[in-house]
Structure 1
Amino acid sequence: MKLAPVTRRTAIAFAMVGALSLSACGTGPGNAESKTASAWALTGGDEQTFRGSFDEWNQAHPEQKIDSQFFANDAFKEKVRSSVGSGNAPTLIYSWAGGTLTDYVKNKNVVDITDKTKELTSRLIPSVAANGVVDGKTYAVPNNSMQSVVLWYNKGMFEQEGLQPPQTWDELMDLVPKFNDKGIAPFALAGASKWPELMWLAYLADRIGGPEAFQAVVDGKKDAWSNPAFKESLEKIQDLVKANGFMKGYESTTTDATADIAAFYTGKTAMILQGSWVYPNYKNDAKDFFAAGNVGYTNFPSVSGGKGDPANIIGNPANFWSVSSSSSTEAQDAATSYLNTAVLDDAYVDGLLKGGAVPPIKGIEDKIAKLDDADYLGWVYKRAVDAPSFQLSWDQALPASQAQALLTNLDQVFLNQMTPQGFVDAMNATLGS
């Protein structure tokens, strides 16, 4: 699934196209010759939090400085991929964990930081910290907030129509004609970006088959996509499309222009399934809508007869820092010291909360309770802490080749150009690739 307060990869990510900035006097990628640690991350989103943290660290530890560079989303992904492969990666490597981290570990691109980050990991919510663990060892630690996918609804509109947010899939489908009859599209969707469509499949498959269904895919089990939960989920998606569940023109709408979110907060649609990363959009871009108390939020509905717990959530548990194995011992030591004592410390946590983001730190209920957004932030925090399963976005959990096939084939299902069985067959063919 991408993030700017508007997309997933551009609101952790906030893609300022072409933007490239350098903090301090950057020495470039980390390597065995350089004793200075380096870090690459994304522009926008959490950039200011990262900058502030690095600046404070550098002032307090002049002998262990970390030089940082910030890149737009696409530029970063291309640059870090080539640098890691060539052994010239920055000391601190920014990622979404998942399949990418597994590959890094397999190829010995990153080092085991289990023993050197115990102070930090002891404060983390275990379900989030687990995403940085491979084969029982910690290779990555979270560096920002928990970003679960939320079913947002226009509270004022629902109250005006005397309706309740859907708690079951049947209730959701019953709402579709009611809003269509009023000339209001039920759901906003940026179909041209593809990854927002994936949120629908991920949640439905979880509700029907439980998290075990997709875990079998991640584990590469033969014919894992043949689990009936996937086909049934795809059938329900096509039912929703045929019932005009999405706004007109969703197929050509992208997240880059925030058109899907704007359709929601301008009252053109009643609901939107999007990440918690869009919350700043409501606060900053739709101040009247926000001030009127129209931002409603709830869990994705349950499915009758399904195995999945309705408290399960999908999204990005956080973004992560890993330490490059190609960096010098001095640079690695500076990086791990920074991770263990500076990342997600009190000031860091306060900064994230002030921006409407919730860090994966245990015991911050009192901090949250003092904030203007306490109801929402407390809900995000509690659902993450209590979730039986917090599943990583599928396109991040899978290897790149499988993730691309997943997005392409799912888009064909939404467009009714591929049958659910055709999707299952096509995706089974990618296993092991």
Structure 2
Amino acid sequence: MGDPALSRRGFLAASVAGLGATALSGCGGGSDGGSSSGTTTIEWWNISTTEPTRTVWAGLARKFEAQNPKVKIKIVQLENDAYKSKMTALTASGKLPDIFHTWGGGVLKQQVDAGLVEDLTDGTGSWADGLLPVAKEPYLLDGKAYGIPFDIGMIGFWYNRTLFGKAGIGAPPTTWSGFLEAVTRLKSSGVTPLALAGKEKWPGMYYWAYLAMRTAGVGALRKAADSKDFTGAGFVDAGRHLKELVTLQPFQKGFLGAAYSTPTGQAATVGNGRAAMELMGQWAPVVEADAGKGLGANLGFFPFPEVEGGEGKLTEVFGGGGGHALRSGAPQAAVDFLKFFATETTDRELVRKTGVLPVVPAAESVLTDPNLKAVQTQLKAATGFQLYLDQAYAPAVGQEVNDSVAALIAGSKSPEQVAQSITGAAEEAQ
């Protein structure tokens, strides 16, 4: 995202609450895992500052304590930006909390490389092996697990069925050429094809990232990050395909100054029926309804189309979620809590009460929304996964992706310049 954190579900909570939650002040950078009168206190840092998640998570902590009388959990809750700032400082100091929220990717890798994070591969394998495979991807580094997911999601197109029908589009497109044709048909019918929050940059990044996955292939994005070179033909082609779309002028009037979740922003534009589509995560229906009227049963979902002749497949998904990691040397009680958090019983409660998608396959039965079921089906069938680029890469590189793609959409950078700028940022981040 323009703000790379927010697990995207975190962003949903923040946007719905208007970022108005009051953060609890935390002390220090983690407990010593020590005991007092035979009781072990573990410190759990998270970003669940909004309801209902805040109350649900606090209740789960109390339930765990009831099951483990010699363990106390100290909860430290911080709003997303404050959390990132505090964790950056703690990482630099070399002392992290016992249990802490992570989005995986580049930041987690930095913490792992500094020797600050516990390797969970052996200690959790007996039960973590049963979690949804794609949900575990962001926390795997060199084949080892450094985090346990509690949420997962993906980016795709959310569309207005009525407006598609008005334009004579019988079924969602599965190819890029078919998508461009759909955009043209929508415009011809007097409908704005796409809503975009150009002001915030991260929504535009989704287009380039997916197009890079579809042209160069999901593996190429990882190789480019390792080699610090994004100038390959597949990445330039991604920019060219995005430029094809931009040339059609598909976005709403004033999109370059539009935010995401405001009453006149991207989500509301779709939710109020003023645009036919948006490329967004699984939280989109709730934000559309909160910022606008929402489309209800008139809302549909389809995955990002394939690019003809490209290396990528329709079943390769772009997304992310939230997870928990442990500081190196955290007490066994912290591992036990992660196991408790990943049980079917807990996951069913999280899905039912907080709206996350299940990471425990057996918890799927409590999903009721047809669109969320469609997203879950795509995730389960995924043959490849790419974490959000502004999380997968080092922070400076992720920001450059957002900035450069925004410049391409605004018409001030060419596809080649985008690839060169991201490569330059990757080289400087070494």
TM-score, with structure 2 as normaliser: 0.89
CA distance in 2, matches of 1:6, 1:156: 31
Letter aligned with residue 412 of structure 1:
A
Match of 1:112 among 110, 114, 119: 119
Secondary structure, counterpart of 1:378 in structure 2: helix
Q: Which residue of 1 aligns with 2:38?
A: none
- Aligned partners of 1:6 and 1:120: how far apart in 2? 23
**Shift of the alpha carbon at 1:151?**
0.5
Q: CA deviation at 1:130?
A: 3.2
* Aligned twin of 2:326: 323
Correspondence for 1:163: 169
Q: Which residue does the alignment assign to 1:132?
A: 139
- 1:250 match: 255
Question: Which digits, 9 at most, give the CA deviation of each residue in 1:183-214, with x for residues without a partner?
Answer: 32110011111111111011111111210221
Which residue of 1 is the match for residue 32 of structure 2? 32
Equivalent position SS for 1:410: helix
Runs of 5+ in structure 1 lacking a partner?
none
Give the Cα separation in 1 of the matches to 2:7 and 2:111. Answer: 29
Q: Which structure 2 residues correspond to residues 177-188 of structure 1 after superposition, within 5 A? A: 177-188=184-195
Deviations 1:332-383 (A, max 9, x none): 2221110123334413323314544312223445x14xx532x323322221
Shift of 1:180: 2.4
**Which residue number corresponds to residue 394 of structure 1?**
389
**Which one of 69, 76, 81 corresponds to residue 76 of structure 2?**
69
> Structure 1 residues 16, 68: CA separation in 2 closer, same or farther (over 3 Å shift)?
farther
Which residue of the partner structure matches residue 246 of structure 2? 241
- For residue 227 of structure 2, what is the aligned residue in structure 1? 221
Taking a change above 3 Å as real, the CA distance of residues 4 and 141 of structure 1, as seen in their structure-2 partners, is closer
| Structure 2 match to 1:372 | 368
Q: Check whether the contact 2:261–2:291 (CA below 8 A) recurs between aligned residues.
A: no
293, 314, 318: which one aligns with 1:310: 314
| 1:97 positional shift | 0.3
The answer on 1:264 being equivalent to 2:270 is: yes
Confirm or deny: 8 A CA contact 1:28 1:38 kept in the other structure: no
Give 1:56 deviation, angstroms.
Answer: 1.4
The structure-2 alpha-carbon separation of the partners of 1:393 and 1:265, relative to structure 1 and needing over 3 Å to count, comes to same
Matches of 2:189 and 2:5, distance apart in 1:
32
Q: For the residues of structure 2 that align with 1:304 and 1:160, how far apart are their CA atoms?
A: 27
Q: Which one is further off, 46-55 or 103-112?
A: 46-55
SS at match of 1:65: strand
Change (3 A) 1:429 1:282: closer
Offset at 1:310? 1.0
CA distance in 2 between counterparts of 1:285 and 1:3 reads: 21
User: 2: CA distance between counterparts of 1:271 and 1:263?
Assistant: 9
Alpha-carbon spacing, 1:87–1:4, altered in 2? closer, same or farther (3 Å): closer
Q: Do the aligned partners of 1:6 and 1:261 also contact (CA within 8 Å) in 2?
A: no
Deviation at 1:7, TM superposition (A): 5.8
Letter in structure 1 aligned against 2:118: V
Looking at structure 1, the residues matched to 102 and 186 of structure 2 have their Cα atoms a distance apart, in angstroms, of 40
CA distance in 2: counterparts of 1:268 and 1:287, whole angstroms? 11
Q: Distance in 1 between matches of 2:33 and 2:310?
A: 55
Gaps of 5+ in 2: 36-40
For 2:327, the aligned partner's letter is S
The Cα shift of 1:388 comes to: 0.6
Alignment of 1:91-110 (within 5 A): 91-110=98-117
Secondary structure, counterpart of 1:152 in structure 2 = strand
* Structure 1 residue 71 displacement after superposition: 1.5
Q: In structure 2, which of residues 85, 91, 95 is the aligned counterpart of residue 84 of structure 1?
A: 91
Match of 2:419 in 1: 424
Q: Secondary structure at the match of 1:429?
A: helix
Residues 7 and 277 in structure 1, CA contact (< 8 A), matched pair in contact too: yes
Q: 1:16 to 1:270 in 2, by over 3 A?
A: closer
Cα distance in 1 for residues equivalent to 2:422 and 2:221? 12
Deviations 1:47-85 (A, max 9, x none): 344222212112332321111122211111101111222
Distance of 1:297 and 1:244 partners within structure 2: 22
- The amino acid that maps onto 1:254 is A
8 Å contact from structure 1 (residues 65, 334) kept in 2: no
Specify the SS of the correspondent of 2:276. Answer: strand
CA 1:204 to 1:90, structure 2 compared with 1: closer, same or farther past 3 Å?
Answer: same
Q: Deviations over 1:250-307 (max 9, x none)?
A: 11111242621110011110111000122323566666621xx211111111111111
- Structure-2 separation of matches of 1:132 and 1:7: 16
Give the counterpart of 1:208 among 186, 206, 215: 215
Instruction: Kindly report which structure 2 residues correspond to 1:404-419, keeping only aligned pairs within 5 A, or say none.
Output: 404-419=399-414
Is 1:44 the counterpart of 2:60? The answer is no
Tell me, yes or no, if the aligned pair for 1:358 and 1:381 is still in contact at 8 Å.
yes
**Separation (CA, whole Å) in 1 of partners of 2:153 and 2:75:** 24
Give the Cα–Cα distance (whole angstroms) in 2 for the partners of residues 4 and 167 of structure 1.
30
**Residues 49 and 148 from structure 1, CA distance in 2 versus in 1: closer, same or farther, beyond 3 angstroms?**
farther
Q: Which amino acid aligns with 1:17?
A: L
Residue in 1 that maps onto 2:22: 20
* Residue identity in the other structure for 2:90: S
Alpha-carbon offset, residue 27 of structure 1: 5.7
Aligned to 2:348: 349
> CA–CA distance in 1 between the matches of 2:13 and 2:140?
21
